[in-house]
Amino acid sequence: MLFQSYQLGGLSLKNRIVMPPMTRSRAAKGEVATELMADYYGQRASAGLIISEGTQISRQGQGYAWTPGIFSQEQIDGWRKVTDAVHASGGVIFAQLWHVGRVSHVLLQENRASPVSASAILADGVKVFVDPTGKGPEDGVGEMIQHSMPRELTIPEIKQIIQEYAQAAKNAIAAGFDGVELHGANGYLIEQFMDSQTNRRTDEYGGTLENRLRFLRDVVTAVVDAVGKDRVGVRQAPLTTLMGAIDDDPETTYIEAAKFLNDSGIAYIHIAEADWENAPVMHIAFKEAYRRAFSGTLIYAGKYTKERAEEALQNGWADLIAFGRPFIANPDLPYRLEHDLPLNEPIREKFFGGGAAGYTDYPFTDAESFAAVAQ
């Protein structure tokens, strides 16, 4: 089933393989997508669906050096180069809209302001990537440092961020994206509101589960109103504890969220399974509960092999499967998987920052597969 076509709303996907969001920190000054990024995404357009790297909806939403934004005209124009390259190769691409919340540093914030969150809670040991040299991704040297202490958002500020999500979605469509994915995973702002241990608010956005889910509901509603439900997906990571985000009862929290997302009619939920050593396992019963709660498309990511992907599709747990790190080193990954060909190994030292090396210079299998992507 992995290599069969799939209908995602009004979009025809050539296969059920997804390239998920992966931060690569190659944006130019002004957090603008570049020609090099267009080459990178265009090379990988044989995926049924590409979801862009996390793309901040505002300067406040940035948590790492050299990541792209989508809140200025220059950024929209930069992303247009990327979407044109993907569409020229017959691909489909969504933009992942990102606000990191507390996972930032004053060096990345305008006027060195404090990062913001649902509550003023520091995630001890959670580090962010900064560029103290200010030279940019090719010449600069980044370093990982403890994120800055956040402050709690006011209600008017929350309402402003919700509108920034909606505007970013409109900007993404103007840039040529086929849709948007809201980053509601990995301990960033949406999850900071959802999870019980990162939200200590006592107002309408905290306390009860209904209130902790309110920010997600408000953002989804605003974005759906802005660009249409068929163009919206949401990423979730119900069992991960990344960036210090922990929920005391994730199955209840995330299935309740899935029920709302089902009622909203969005295109998909993209579920990131915990994939580190000794990580909590997402049991089959949890996956089946997701399927009962959400009738739209379900995408799963998390160290999937071809065999595990086929099992998930055959059992109906998933409709599409995302392969993360393998796509870094294998621009023609669908071809390699289909023909059981060996995979290139990614160069970890080249994951973040730099130029073409370890980014667009990984070899295709042969001229024939390159030609298939380039059609």
Indicate the DSSP class of residue 61.
Answer: T
Helix H or strand E encompassing 288: helix 284-293
Q: What angle do CA 219, 221, 226 make, to 5 degrees?
A: 95
Rounded distance between C-alpha atoms, residue 108 and residue 49, angstroms? 31
Rounded distance between C-alpha atoms, residue 99 and residue 182, angstroms? 9
Full DSSP string of 198-248: T----STTSSSHHHHTHHHHHHHHHHHHHH-GGGEEEEE-TT--GGG---S
Burial of 332 (0-12, 13-18, 19+ CB in 10 A): buried
Q: What angle do CA 150, 155, 161 make, to 5 degrees?
A: 70
Residue tagged active-site, from 64, 165, 188, 362: 188
Could you identify the residue written with the tokens 């900064």? Answer: 130
Rounded distance between C-alpha atoms, residue 267 and residue 294, angstroms? 10
Is 362 noted as a catalytic residue in this protein?
Answer: no
Helix H or strand E encompassing 34: none
List residues with catalytic annotation: 188
